[in-house]
């Protein structure tokens, strides 16, 4: 169905010409969620209406669309908003209808948007959505979050284009300084909010975050909150929204003395959003160049033992067989397993290796901690048994380089006790005062030097790089490599590095830092259902298609 304008769908009953025809009017275009506090809602000085007739607002309570005429349903306030103006601008630029899901809540701190039970050290100025708990801390009552997520969930996975977030005034420069939120905590809580919505939506919904801290003349910005908002873009958690602190004077209500926007101010605010959203939307509208696809599996973790909690060890052989059958139907360049191929017993390899080796395309392994959960006499034989010529290595496909790391390089589990490597792990663990569990490990100095060399060569060849490892490095987690920070610092030196994929934490996870995507795949062994992915590599995007309990994701690639 082509986008642009409105369409009519005529419904008739087959074989019954007397059945009355029904016409359903619908549009194919873009949908945006607009959220935050009052300046994202209906608090402007002059009410607005769509002039194109192509901008609609969703009435969640009545489950219907209506023309965007202020006040917008779902958002607080009874005045004007930017939504009809922004929608009209986008509609004219892209020749398509625009839908708005409005949920701006006046006077709210980011603390009040957090899910129920989320804690913070100091309260916002208004306390009706938070409560004081023991030890002098406060927590969110979760009065806003459920409605926020429900509105987004109503449209399913990938059901809207982006969240446009405009908020910060109720965290910045409060009259009572004890209620002002620090920049560090603002960044933490907004990142937490964004991450939680993505988990609950089960897709990586894009967010734009504006810089918004203006109150009145003379109290026009809070550098700490502004820096926090900018850090969220720079860390890749969100996209960059407009700087509305710059909109002053006649652009503010009450003859320039108010915090909300005048009629001209609403137009300037909408234009500022358009300037940020439209280039991104234009890029999204262009068909991106497809390169190739590959398969990825984490934590098959087979053994013949009984289930333990949510882990279904013996069922993994059947899951792997099902996975391989599906992957063999696809045009894939390769498949990689991200460690913990078995859970214990050297003989477990006899069951699952033949299944994995029946793949039609090249197949690779990263080593996991449980792969070494075998008798001491077999530990040094594990890589060879898995068909690995080296514990860490790299290979290329077209203009992409793939690097497989060994996170067991320095570890207790990969070597027999009393071996030199085991004693080296003891020394490393003690000297570096490691608090991470002993079933993790580290990438050793020799391997780090090799990695630097590989990345330098990839950069010279203008290759893009994806790394595979069993152990995560980001975000912070008890499952991470002992020297996760050192590995991240090395990766950040090279612009060619685009993604790092791992297993180990069966729950899965995602983070983005300085343009690098860090994706933890869910464990195949976990629960009765399967888990694996096919990842499509495009010029400027990685499209992750999840199977079983694994989620779909779209990972945009920076230049």
pLDDT per residue as tens, the chain (559 positions): 445 555 566 566 666 666 655 655 566 689 999 999 999 999 999 999 999 999 999 999 999 999 999 999 999 999 999 999 999 999 999 989 999 999 999 999 999 999 999 999 999 999 999 999 988 899 999 999 999 999 999 999 889 999 999 999 999 999 999 999 999 999 999 999 999 999 999 888 999 999 999 999 999 999 999 999 999 998 889 999 999 999 999 999 999 999 999 999 999 999 999 999 999 998 877 656 889 999 999 999 999 989 999 999 999 999 999 999 999 999 999 999 999 999 999 999 999 999 999 999 999 999 999 999 999 999 999 999 999 999 999 999 999 999 999 999 999 999 999 999 999 999 999 999 999 999 999 999 999 999 999 999 999 999 999 999 999 999 999 999 999 999 999 999 999 999 999 999 999 999 999 999 999 999 999 989 999 999 999 988 999 999 999 999 989 887 5
Instruction: Note the pLDDT of residue 486.
Output: 98
DSSP of 99-162? EEEEEE-TT--HHHHSPTT-EESS--S--TTEEE-GGG-EEE--SSHHHHHHHHHTT-TT-SSE
- Please tell me the distance from the alpha carbon of residue 23 to that of residue 4, in angstroms, as a whole number: 18
Q: Which among 497, 466, 472 is positioned nearest to 485, based on CA atoms?
A: 472
Q: Which among 115, 219, 255, 229 is positioned nearest to 166, based on CA atoms?
A: 229
Instruction: Note the pLDDT of residue 26.
Output: 61
- Please tell me the distance from the alpha carbon of residue 399 to that of residue 394, in angstroms, as a whole number: 13
- Asked if residues 404 and 366 have their Cβ atoms less than 8 Å apart, the reply is yes
- Please tell me the distance from the alpha carbon of residue 380 to that of residue 358, in angstroms, as a whole number: 25
**Element (H or E) spanning 397, and its range?**
strand 393-397
CB atoms within 10 A of CB 254: 11
Domain ranges of the chain: 43-281, 290-410+442-556
pTM of this prediction? Answer: 0.61
Instruction: Note the pLDDT of residue 465.
Output: 98
CA dihedral 525, 530, 535, 536 (to 10 degrees): 170
- Please tell me the distance from the alpha carbon of residue 117 to that of residue 131, in angstroms, as a whole number: 10
Instruction: Note the pLDDT of residue 1.
Output: 46
Q: How are beta strands 98-104 and 30-36 bridged, if at all?
A: parallel
- Please tell me the distance from the alpha carbon of residue 442 to that of residue 478, in angstroms, as a whole number: 13
Instruction: Note the pLDDT of residue 112.
Output: 98
Query: Which CATH superfamily, name and number, covers 43-281?
Result: SGNH hydrolase (3.40.50.1110)
- Asked if residues 458 and 450 have their Cβ atoms less than 8 Å apart, the reply is no
CATH 3.30.750.24 holds for 290-410+442-556: no
Q: Do domains 43-281 and 290-410+442-556 have the same CATH topology?
A: no
């Amino acid at each position: 169905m082509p986008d642009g304008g409105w369409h009519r769908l005529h419904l008739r009953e087959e074989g019954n010409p007397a059945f009355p025809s029904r016409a359903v009017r619908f549009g194919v275009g873009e949908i945006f969620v607009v959220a935050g506090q009052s300046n994202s809602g209906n608090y402007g000085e002059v009410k607005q209406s769509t002039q194109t007739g192509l901008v609609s607002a969703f009435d969640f309570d009545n489950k219907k669309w209506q023309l965007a005429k202020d006040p917008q349903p779902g958002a607080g306030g009874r005045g004007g908003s930017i939504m009809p103006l922004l929608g009209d601008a986008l509609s004219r630029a892209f020749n398509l209808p625009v839908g708005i899901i409005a949920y701006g809540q006046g006077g709210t701190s980011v603390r009040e948007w957090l899910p129920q039970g989320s804690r913070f050290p100091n309260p916002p100025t208004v306390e009706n959505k938070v409560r004081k708990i023991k030890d002098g801390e406060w927590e969110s009552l979760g009065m806003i979050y459920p409605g926020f997520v429900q509105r987004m969930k109503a449209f399913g996975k990938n059901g809207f284009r982006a969240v446009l977030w405009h908020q910060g005034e109720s965290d910045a420069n409060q009259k009572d300084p004890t209620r002002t939120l620090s920049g560090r905590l603002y960044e933490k809580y907004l990142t937490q909010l964004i991450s939680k919505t993505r988990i609950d939506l089960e897709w990586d919904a894009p967010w734009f975050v504006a810089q918004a801290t203006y109150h009145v003349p003379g109290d026009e910005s809070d550098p700490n909150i502004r820096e926090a908002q900018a850090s969220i873009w720079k860390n890749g958690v969100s996209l960059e929204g407009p700087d509305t602190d710059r909109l002053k004077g006649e652009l503010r209500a009450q003859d320039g003395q108010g915090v909300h926007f005048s009629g001209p101010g609403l137009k300037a605010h909408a234009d500022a959003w358009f300037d940020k959203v439209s280039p991104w939307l234009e890029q999204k509208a262009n068909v991106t160049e497809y390169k190739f696809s590959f398969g990825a599996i984490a934590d098959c973790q087979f053994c013949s033992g009984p289930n333990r909690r949510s882990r279904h060890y013996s069922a993994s052989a059947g899951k792997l067989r099902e996975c391989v059958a599906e992957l063999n139907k696809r045009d894939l360049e390769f498949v990689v397993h991200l460690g913990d191929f078995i859970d214990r017993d050297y003989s477990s390899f006899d069951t699952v290796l033949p299944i994995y080796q029946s793949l039609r395309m090249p197949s690779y392994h990263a080593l996991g901690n449980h792969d070494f959960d075998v008798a001491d006499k077999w530990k040094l034989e594990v890589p060879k048994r898995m068909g690995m010529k080296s514990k860490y290595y790299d290979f290329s496909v077209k203009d992409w380089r793939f690097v497989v790391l060994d996170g067991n390089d320095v570890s207790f589990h990969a070597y027999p006790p009393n071996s030199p490597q085991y004693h080296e792990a003891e020394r490393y663990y003690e000297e570096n005062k490691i608090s991470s569990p002993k079933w993790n490990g580290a990438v050793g100095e020799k391997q780090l030097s090799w990695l630097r060399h590989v990345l330098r060569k990839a950069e010279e060849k203008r290759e893009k790089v994806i790394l595979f490892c069993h152990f995560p490095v980001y975000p912070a987690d008890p499952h991470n490599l002992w020297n996760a920070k050192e590995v991240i610092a090395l990766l950040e030196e090279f612009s060619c590095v685009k993604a790092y994929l791992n297993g180990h934490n069966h729950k899965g996870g995602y983070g983005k830092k300085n343009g690098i995507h860090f994706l933890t795949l869910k464990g195949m062994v976990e629960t009765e259902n399967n888990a694996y992915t096919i990842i499509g590599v495009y010029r400027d995007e990685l499209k992750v298609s999840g199977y079983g309990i694994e989620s779909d994701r779209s990972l945009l690639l920076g230049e």
